[in-house]
């Protein structure tokens, strides 16, 4: 089996394990997800409400350094929103020209921690912010990865730490003939799926 096929097979097996693990955690912590909504059973909600920390205790127990650095953390909000907006504009305007399937933005933004009754208002705000920030980074990374596959699908000479999902499909560094022969094929893999007739 070619190396790329083995990598894809391993990735699918890993996805299956992740799904099984998720179902096990849902069973263990007594929640289920239906149509994008999370539901806990009544007893679990009662336990969660009992474990919620009030705001006075939260501030009293927070370290001073955490409180002082919070504005620095939240100062990233504006650049993240601008990056999100600009990357969305870029892919909507350029990807159709290149024949690249657009990245589904919604798939990268999972905001569900506010449903946890054991979090107070500030903890919920922190969780929503972190969910948005990591969503933007994941979303933009996928847009960049598809762009890289289109314009320069060549592996680096040195190892890359945590490469994106497309990287293993790229051509080896120094494989000039492969680059000239496979570039069109690699670009074609990113085309939007054709609508089924009927």
All residues at 6 or more sequence positions from 52 whose CB lies less than 8 Å from its CB, including other chains = 117, 118, 119, 120
Q: How much is the pLDDT for 36?
A: 72
pLDDT digits (tens, 9 = 90+) for 64-78: 998 899 999 999 999
Residue of 115, 112, 120, 127 lying closest to 45 (CA atoms): 115
| Secondary structure tally for the chain: helices H, strands E | 7, 2
Q: How much is the pLDDT for 37?
A: 76
Top-confidence residue, 187 or 26: 187
What's the pLDDT band for 143 if we cut at 50, 70, 90?
A: very high
Q: How much is the pLDDT for 57?
A: 86
pTM attached to this predicted model: 0.80
The pair of structure tokens assigned to 83 is 């990056």
- CA–CA separation, 131 vs 80, rounded Å? 12
Q: What is the DSSP letter of 80?
A: H
Q: At what angle do helices 77-98 and 121-151 cross, to 10 degrees?
A: 30
Per-chain mean pLDDT for the chain:
88
């Amino acid at each position: 089996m070619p190396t790329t096929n083995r990598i894809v097979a391993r990735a699918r097996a890993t996805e299956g394990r992740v799904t099984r693990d998720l179902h096990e955690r849902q069973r263990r912590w007594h929640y289920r997800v239906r149509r994008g909504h999370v539901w806990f059973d009544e007893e679990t909600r009662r336990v969660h409400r009992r474990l919620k920390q009030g705001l006075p205790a939260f501030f009293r127990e927070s370290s001073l350094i955490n409180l002082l650095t919070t504005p620095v953390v939240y100062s990233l909000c504006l650049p993240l929103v601008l990056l999100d907006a600009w990357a969305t504009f870029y892919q909507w305007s350029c990807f159709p020209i290149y024949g690249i399937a657009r990245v589904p933005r919604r798939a990268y933004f999972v905001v569900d921690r506010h449903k946890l009754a054991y979090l107070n208002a500030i903890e919920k705000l922190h969780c929503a912010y972190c969910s948005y920030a990591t969503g933007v980074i994941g979303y933009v990374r996928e847009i960049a990865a598809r762009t890289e596959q289109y314009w320069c699908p060549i592996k680096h000479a040195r190892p890359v730490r945590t490469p994106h999902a497309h990287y293993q499909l790229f051509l080896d560094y120094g494989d000039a003939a492969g680059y000239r022969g496979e570039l069109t094929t690699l670009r074609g893999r990113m085309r939007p799926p054709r609508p089924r007739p009927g």
